[in-house]
Amino acid sequence: MIGMPANDGTPDGWYGLIDANGHQVGLATRRLAYDFQDAADAMRRHGYANAYARALCTGLWPSLDVLPPLERSAAGHPLETCAVVFRARAQAQTARRLRCATGAPEKRKGAGC
């Protein structure tokens, strides 16, 4: 586990998925449940500040004073998973743009970049 919970009041971690498939790319976030109690106990055994071990259990960051007001006010509100897909434009348009970018001549009359 890298980092702290998302300051959303849950002990879960988060990870992102990138899925490139043909002419589209998908991006998604997912929750990651883990043994936060064991991780917090290990932090305490190794001398880390108790506030950070407690943050693993509560899902709330110990130092909100450094956050901008809008993010500080969002503390404790559980996040939702999210997914978005970006689709490539038609292959002919992409090929035309590549030819234009590389200086290759256009074959069609009136076709510009």
The residues, any chain, with a CB within 8 Å of residue 105's CB and separated by 6 or more, are: 99
**pTM, whole model, 2 decimals?**
0.65
The stretches of the chain forming alpha helices (DSSP H) are 36-45, 50-58, 69-73, 91-102
Q: How many percent of the chain have pLDDT more than 70?
A: 77
Q: Residue 3: what pLDDT?
A: 73
- Quick: pLDDT tens for 40-82: 999 999 999 899 999 999 999 998 999 999 999 999 999 999 9
Least confident of 47-51, 83-87, 89-93: 89-93
Burial (CB count <10 Å: 0-12, 13-18, 19+), residue 59 = buried
Average confidence score pLDDT of the chain? 82
Q: Residue 88 — pLDDT band, cuts 50, 70, 90?
A: confident
